[in-house]
Copies of this chain bind each other. A is one copy, B any other.
Amino acid sequence: MAKSIKHILKQELKIKVNGKLWLESEGDRFFGPGPLELLEKIEETGSISNAAKAMNMSYKKAWELINHLNAQTNSPVVVPQAGGEKGGGSTLTAEGLELIKYYKALRKRFKTFLENESARL
């Protein structure tokens, strides 16, 4: 009889199943850990510029991610905030907040999948 995977892998090593998830549109990735962090930082810092800085990302790259993201949604996920002393601030829309919430829930379900799979090893 064939050995099960449990008998093949060394049990003294901490072996587990791990992975990565993203959303893609026509094969083109547009949301994953990076864009999630960017949205969270925008929410936290109130601007795309500060969010990009906090992630060591160029402002240009941050805008590209956001434009790419906005192209997949019916309404933008990030909008310029009216007023403010310097202007230039940005805030997440309800859609942006919901996208964060959705992705975190998805990530939690994936974590459960990975834990179940790791328990088989």
Residues of B within 8 A of A97 (CB): 2
Interface residues in A90-117 (C-beta closer than 8 Å to B): 94-95, 97-99, 101-102, 106, 109-110, 113, 117
User: Closest CB of chain B to A1's CB: distance in Å?
Assistant: 10
B110 and A8 contact, CB distance less than 8 A: no
Given the known interface contacts A5-B98, A73-B8, the answer about A22 and B13 at a Cβ–Cβ threshold of 8 Å is no
Please pick, from B10, B26, B29, B95, the residue contacting A13 in the complex, using a CB distance under 8 A.
B26
Nearest CB to that of A114 among chain B residues?
B21
User: Closest CB of chain B to A120's CB: distance in Å?
Assistant: 9
A25 and B15 contact, CB distance less than 8 A: yes
Interface residues in A1-49 (C-beta closer than 8 Å to B): 2-5, 7-10, 13-26, 29
A98 and B3 contact, CB distance less than 8 A: yes
| Interface core residue of A3, A10, A21, A22 (most chain B CB under 10 Å) | A21
User: Closest CB of chain B to A44's CB: distance in Å?
Assistant: 20
Nearest CB to that of A11 among chain B residues?
B74
Chain A residues with a Cβ under 8 A of chain B: 2-5, 7-10, 13-26, 29, 72-75, 94-95, 97-99, 101-102, 106, 109-110, 113, 117, 121
